[in-house]
């Protein structure tokens, strides 16, 4: 059972802090997903609120056949489709527009996954020792050369090469602990 499901179950049992956890964990991703459907960030935010409002008022039964996130996004998608039907945008759209919606949805999902991966990488970086974190930050985030990073960190070329190798190995180990595998590490 994923964290969202346990939070929802606690919410149904009367724990209001569990609802705050659901909002915190799923709000941004749900907005991005809904924006891919309605193509308007303000409307997507309203639809996200409506989706969560449905959880609060109707308290639908969660079927553990799928993940909580899948279930929540399905509710959000239905809310978005109802919105589009109500505003006649769906019926006035051409087939090409609908294909664009699907492509936009795919692109948005891909961007969301990339953002989640970045969060995991940053969390893993925080667990590394300072020197490893520094060298990886300078080379991969600030896009400095090994030589430039060596000057900043007062290391020789050979020390920098070894430090980068050890830092990448340590980062890879931390990422594997979170079941995250990245082919370029």
DSSP per residue over 138-180, as a string?
Answer: IIIIS---HHHHHHHHT--HHHHHHHHHHHHHHHHHHHHHTT-
φ and ψ at residue 153, rounded to 5 degrees: -90, 0
Q: How far apart are CA 112 and CA 58, in angstroms?
A: 28
Task: Look at the block and give the residue holding tokens 């594997």.
Answer: 176
φ and ψ at residue 2, rounded to 5 degrees: -80, 170
φ and ψ at residue 4, rounded to 5 degrees: -60, -40
Task: Look at the block and give the residue holding tokens 């664009």.
Answer: 100
Rg of the chain taking only CA atoms, in angstroms: 22
- Taking CA 149 as the corner, what is the angle to CA 124 and CA 122, rounded to the nearest 5 degrees? 15
CB 171 within 8 A of CB 136: yes
Q: Which of 50, 40, 126 is nearest to 82 (CA)?
A: 50
| CA 60 to each of CA 2, 30, 71, 73, 149: distance values in angstroms, whole numbers, following the listed order | 17, 18, 10, 13, 54
Assigned CATH topology for domain 110-185: Arc Repressor Mutant, subunit A (1.10.10)
pLDDT < 70 regions, the chain: 1-4, 64, 66, 88-108, 180-185
* Per-residue model confidence (pLDDT) at position 89: 46
On whether the pTM is more than 0.75, the answer is: no
The sign of the CA dihedral 25, 28, 31, 37 is negative
CB 46 within 8 A of CB 76: no
Sorted by where each begins, the domain ranges of the chain are 1-92, 110-185
* Per-residue model confidence (pLDDT) at position 1: 42
CB 180 within 8 A of CB 120: yes
User: 1-92 in CATH: which number?
Assistant: 1.10.1740.10
* Per-residue model confidence (pLDDT) at position 101: 59
* Per-residue model confidence (pLDDT) at position 90: 45
């Amino acid at each position: 059972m994923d964290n969202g499901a346990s939070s929802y179950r606690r919410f149904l049992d009367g724990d209001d802090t569990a609802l705050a956890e659901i909002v915190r964990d799923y709000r941004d991703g749900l907005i991005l997903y809904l924006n891919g459907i309605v193509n308007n960030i303000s409307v997507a935010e309203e639809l996200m609120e409506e989706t969560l409002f449905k959880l609060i008022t109707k308290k639908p039964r969660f079927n553990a056949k799928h993940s909580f996130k899948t279930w929540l996004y399905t509710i959000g998608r239905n809310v978005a489709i109802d919105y589009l039907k109500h505003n006649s945008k769906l019926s006035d759209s051409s087939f090409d527009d609908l294909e664009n919606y699907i492509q936009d949805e795919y692109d948005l999902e891909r961007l969301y996954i990339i953002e989640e991966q970045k969060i995991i990488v940053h969390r893993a970086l925080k667990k590394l020792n300072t020197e490893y974190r520094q060298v990886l930050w300078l080379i991969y985030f600030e896009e400095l050369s090994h030589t430039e990073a060596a000057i900043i960190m007062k290391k020789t070329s050979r020390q920098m090469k070894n430090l980068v190798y050890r830092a990448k190995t340590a980062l890879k180990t931390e990422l594997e602990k979170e079941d995250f595998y990245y082919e370029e590490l």
